[in-house]
Structure 1
Amino acid sequence: MSAPLTFADSIHVDADPASVYAVVSDVTRTGEWSPTCQECWWDEGQGPRAGAWFTGRNVTAEREWKTRSQVVVADPGAAFGWSVGPGRVVWTYRMEPSGDGTLLSESWEFTPEGQAYFAERFGEHAAAQIAARTAAAREDIPVTLAALKRIIEQ
């Protein structure tokens, strides 16, 4: 089994960790900051707590698709994350007090299970698909963090 593929980046936000958490854990606002995910909605009766489910609608120049995700960490003021698939890709926001604000980090992990799924789904094209998803994460995370900073600091 292959190793997970990961990428993370961070940005300083002039707001306390609880305020940052309140924004990043509201998946219904994801379309405001994500270059790819245009909208998300909670399953009926769900919300930002571990075990909750939501659906996301993603759009790129090449295609549009929906994903199902489950919240895997919901620690107010500290971390919020979800697993797409679930088990294929894990996205996590972490908040750490930093001076008068918060160091906001976003991480992406393309799990070995996710890579195996791509191998099965895309066959000989799996490596190219995995490379494209990795490049997208590396490009989108800094853009997302900059947008979150702008939104939170307004």
Structure 2
Amino acid sequence: MTQTVINSTPLFELRASIRVAADPATVYSVVSDLPRSGEWSPECQGGRWSVGEPGAVGSVFRGENLRAESVVGWAPLVRGTWYTEAKVVRAEPGVTFRWMMLTHAGEDQQSVWGFDVEADGASGSVLTHHFRMGKATAGIHKIVEDLDEPDRVRFVDEWTSKLAADLDSTLGRIKDVVEKQ
């Protein structure tokens, strides 16, 4: 196999945290309600549970996503609206909620998003949002297949920056949603 940045493992691993003025159970009830993700996600506009009990391990969420033309504008990314499916892989109320992205054939990918919640003082919490992509997904391979190695490196660098900004933005929006309830 040719050595390329896309073969790095993990390809992406990011996390960000914020203090929220609400108890862990309240924060968890919001972040585990994926159909509401349009209220805080820079890309996911919401969606619906398509398999299983909402928020339970093994349940599948079909998300509707929207990406602007300006996002890593030079790269051959899906633009406009597209759909994803994700399976809940951990659901511990008041503690952690994680979902794994699935291929179009419904197979697991090493692409996991999640939230961890910890108590912080008498009435607050620290909410951590994280993302890890071990091996590059089929989608990433498709994006970079016609790029030379310098552009692959550029893509990974710019996508990492985009993801970091998205984590921070998401946390700020969740904080606002939770604290206004």
Relative to the length of structure 1, the TM-score reads 0.90
Asked whether the equivalents of residues 98 and 113 of structure 2 are also in contact (C-alpha less than 8 Å), the reply is yes
Indicate which of 104, 126, 134 corresponds to 1:111: 134
Q: Matched residue pairs, number?
A: 153
Report the CA distance between 1:134 and its aligned residue: 2.3
Structure-to-structure mapping, 1:3-152, within 5 angstroms: 3-4=9-10, 5-62=12-69, 63=79, 64-85=81-102, 86-99=108-121, 100-114=123-137, 118-119=140-141, 122-125=144-147, 127=152, 129-152=155-178
Report the CA distance between 1:129 and its aligned residue: 4.8
Q: What are the superposed Cα offsets for residues 50-74 of structure 1, whole Å, 9 maximum, x if unpaired?
A: 1100111111112121111000110
Query: What CA distance in whole angstroms lies between the structure 2 residues aligned with 1:113 and 1:21?
Result: 29
Amino acid at match of 2:60: W
Identity %: 35
Query: Which structure is larger by alpha-carbon Rg, 1 or 2?
Result: 2
Report the CA distance between 1:78 and its aligned residue: 0.1
Say which SS state the counterpart of residue 116 (structure 2) adopts: strand
Greater CA drift, 16-25 or 116-125? 116-125
Relative to the length of structure 2, the TM-score reads 0.77
Report the CA distance between 1:119 and its aligned residue: 2.6
Query: What CA distance in whole angstroms lies between the structure 2 residues aligned with 1:7 and 1:151?
Result: 23
Query: What CA distance in whole angstroms lies between the structure 2 residues aligned with 1:71 and 1:97?
Result: 23
Amino acid at match of 1:97: A
Higher helix fraction (1 or 2):
1
Query: What CA distance in whole angstroms lies between the structure 2 residues aligned with 1:45 and 1:103?
Result: 29
Asked whether the equivalents of residues 52 and 58 of structure 2 are also in contact (C-alpha less than 8 Å), the reply is no
CA 1:105–1:69: 2 relative to 1, 3 Å = same
Report the CA distance between 1:120 and its aligned residue: 5.2
Structure 1 runs, 4 residues or longer, greater than 6 Å off: none
Query: What CA distance in whole angstroms lies between the structure 1 residues aligned with 2:59 and 2:51?
Result: 10
CA 1:47–1:105: 2 relative to 1, 3 Å = same
Query: What CA distance in whole angstroms lies between the structure 2 residues aligned with 1:112 and 1:104?
Result: 26
